[in-house]
Amino acid sequence: MPAKWTIGIDIGRTNLRAARVEGGVPVKVLRERTDVPGGPRGVVEQVRSAVDELSEGEQAGGLGVGIAGQCDILRGLVRYGPNLWWPDVPFGEMLSSATGLPAVLRNDVTMATFGEWRFGAGAGSTDMVCFYVGTGIGGGAIIGGHLLEGASGCGGHLGHISVQMDGPMCSCGRRGCVEAYAGGANLAARVRQELADDPTISTALRAAGDLDLIDARTVAGAAVDGDTYALEVRDGMAEALSSAVASTINSLNPTVVVLGGPVMSGFPSLFEMVADRSLELCLRSALDGLRIERPSLGDLAGVVGAATLAIR
Amino acid sequence: MPAKWTIGIDIGRTNLRAARVEGGVPVKVLRERTDVPGGPRGVVEQVRSAVDELSEGEQAGGLGVGIAGQCDILRGLVRYGPNLWWPDVPFGEMLSSATGLPAVLRNDVTMATFGEWRFGAGAGSTDMVCFYVGTGIGGGAIIGGHLLEGASGCGGHLGHISVQMDGPMCSCGRRGCVEAYAGGANLAARVRQELADDPTISTALRAAGDLDLIDARTVAGAAVDGDTYALEVRDGMAEALSSAVASTINSLNPTVVVLGGPVMSGFPSLFEMVADRSLELCLRSALDGLRIERPSLGDLAGVVGAATLAIR
């Protein structure tokens, strides 16, 4: 009989989290920096070592792994991802062989969505949508009581909904993706460019010194301090995010929309602005029973979801 | 034991279709004008009479009804719809009581999507998306082998994906919906306005006489005849449609996208333009095994889908 506890791993661009999870509760958690320079082998070794430590000599009932990238679940590949881009590496197979456990591999936000659905903000619902706004924008959905996976496991890339056909170029190669407007990396790049181009923009951000060091956190901090320019940046993010959220509501008719991630929570009032504006924009018929929520599992949604999906 | 054949009804804004369907085949079909002036009672009477005629004294195994509007399947209501807007009428209950059959009520494009999936262009796939471009733009999806319905039956309103946050106003109240660009009613209104505003636009459309009579069919006809302005209108439709299709591919990772409807097929090369451009715009990881298809059940997809969904 397999153990009742399973292991969930969340491999982000900078942080790796691992947990032993029982009944949706992370009973032991490890956090470390992702060994990006070590490449896929380095990361697999990190996972092996974490599984070892969490198992305490016992055998886990399953292993789920979420990773920041576009996964091909049919072949266990990580096809595309800003830092973790190993298109031809059989990552799922490597994980399974290193740990001795069949690894269930998915996108990190897919895993977080599953966690929030089973044990978090979406518990009890049958139709739920998640947007996680961080360096990029990830998404996930539960549809009719099933996790959205897509034909090859790439479903849920809601950050690549274009909200403006002629908008700014996104890293994916098309224009106006909501990630191009409100993903941390893109918004910081735009702010750095605007400050460099226009010396009349007077802002606390410029006072900080080296423009090259400005990131989404710096911009959010300036907005918290009431900087006019940073607040305008936030307003633009809110409008783009609201458009993508409303389009997703119209497409999927969920009862719960979860808006999370460090960039979403870092800017003052951004969550409230997006929640209010999305409900204004979407179809009246989609409003029945609809609520917009913050995530409730914090940065452990991914490991809880991964560990729980591994039970199936 | 219930009969092996069921009845499917497709209630559009102008046409009502009814069919006796067995094993996905419409063995007997009725077509008439929708009795819009008769209101919900008039339409229910049309359905009753069609069921009567198709049943030939036998008892059908089920009744499925698709209707052009936003349905609340939990309560059997048609909440919103351009012509068929009966927000407080218990339409599903009225149908069941008039016909003596429990009526399965859904949006018309939801039904057409189900028909194309089970017996048409998407047969054999587990993840499929449909766009139907007519007076408005309707949508539907199959996700992981299940029909997308949404929490209250309003899922699949893909025409109300906004492709341009600051775009033209849509009838739903927000800006830049793909329906505002490429739905037949909206595009015809925009063409009439542009011709009225700008006498320098020289076009075959103006030659036809009364500008007020221009509809989507007239514009498509001018495009077929090579009218430069009408072809430009088509190009704009193609770009907006491609953006919505690509965003949906990124969100749902289907293997089949069906592009249908009279406006889609009426403009020369529109299908090919949207198919090619959507594949250019979407994420590389979503391309594996993805194909874009024309519908294969013609205007009977709705009745086939409705009759088939009624079997469940």
The amino acid that residue A253 corresponds to is N
By CA distance, what is A79's nearest residue in B?
A: B285
Predicted model pTM: 0.95
| Whether residue B80 has pLDDT greater than 80 | no
Contact B139 A70 (CB under 8 A): no
Contact by Cβ (8 Å): B278, B242? yes
A284·B80 Cβ contact <8 A:
yes
pLDDT score of B208 more than 80: no
Average pLDDT over residues B187-192: 95
Q: Do B250 and A157 count as a contact with CB atoms less than 8 A apart?
A: yes
What CA–CA distance (Å, rounded) separates B103 from B96?
Answer: 5
pLDDT of B93-110, one tens digit each?
A: 999 999 999 999 999 999
| B160–A283 CB contact, under 8 Å | yes
In the numeric block, the tokens 């076009």 are attached to: B203
Q: Which helix (H) or strand (E) holds A233?
A: helix A228-252
Q: Do A151 and B255 touch (CB under 8 A)?
A: yes
Averaged pLDDT of chain A: 93
Tell me the pLDDT band of B223, cut-offs 50, 70 and 90: very high
CA distance B93 to chain A (A): 19
The number of residues in chain A equals: 312
Higher pLDDT, B285 or B275: B275
B104 vs A205, higher pLDDT: B104
Between CA A143 and CA B232 the distance in angstroms is 38
User: Over 80: is that where the pLDDT of A207 sits?
Assistant: no
Beta strands in chain A (DSSP E): 6-11, 15-22, 25-33, 63-67, 70-72, 77-80, 103-107, 128-133, 137-143, 146-147, 256-260, 291-293
Q: Greater confidence, A113 or A213?
A: A113
User: Which tokens in the block code for residue A174?
Assistant: 């098309």
**pLDDT for the residue numbered B84:** 65
A212 burial level (CB within 10 Å; 0-12, 13-18, 19+): exposed
Percent share of chain B, pLDDT over 90: 79
Per-residue pLDDT, averaged over B277-290, amounts to 94
Q: Which residues contact B147 (CB under 8 A, 6 or more apart)?
A: B110, B113, B114, B117, B140, B141, B309
Average pLDDT score over residue span A272-298: 95
Check A155 against B240: CB less than 8 A apart.
no
State the average pLDDT over residues A40-64.
95
Above pLDDT 90, what percent of chain A? Answer: 79
pLDDT recorded at residue A80: 65
Contacts of A110 in chain B (CB under 8 A): none
**How many whole angstroms separate alpha carbon A250 and alpha carbon B138?**
11
Q: What is the pLDDT of residues A40-49, one digit of tens each?
A: 899 999 999 9
What's the pLDDT score for residue A206?
A: 84
| Residue B252 to residue A283, Cβ atoms within 8 A | no
Signed CA dihedral, B208, B212, B217, B222: sign only: positive
Which residue in the set B165, B255, B284 is minimally distant from A164, CB to CB? B165
Q: Of B311, B308, B305, B271, whose CA–CA distance to B140 is shortest?
A: B305
pLDDT of residue A2: 72
Among chain B residues, CA nearest to A150: B253
Q: Comparing C-alpha atoms, which of A177, A171, A166, A167 is closest to residue A189?
A: A171
What phi, psi does A89 have (nearest 5°)?
-90, 125
Residue A1 has a CB neighbour count (10 Å cut-off) of 4
Query: Of the given ranges (B9-13, B25-29, B251-255), which has the lowest mean pLDDT?
Result: B9-13
Interface test with A, best of B148, B166, B237, B250 (most A CBs within 10 A): B250
Q: Is the pLDDT of residue B66 over 80?
A: yes
In this structure, are residues B78 and B36 in contact, taking their beta carbons and an 8 Å threshold? no
Q: What is the pLDDT of residues B128-146, one digit of tens each?
A: 999 999 989 999 999 999 9
Q: What is the mean pLDDT of residues A151-180?
A: 95
Write down the mean pLDDT value for chain B.
93
pLDDT above 60: residue A82: no
pLDDT higher than 70, residue A292: yes
Per CB-CB distance under 8 Å, the chain B contacts of A281 are: 162, 173-174
- Between A and B, how many residue pairs show a Cβ–Cβ distance under 8 A? 174
Cβ atoms of B138 and A250 closer than 8 Å: no
- Mean pLDDT lowest among A123-127, B82-86, B129-133: B82-86
Instruction: With cut-offs at 50, 70 and 90, classify the pLDDT of residue B36.
Output: confident
Of the pLDDT bands very low, low, confident and very high (cuts 50, 70, 90), residue A36 is confident
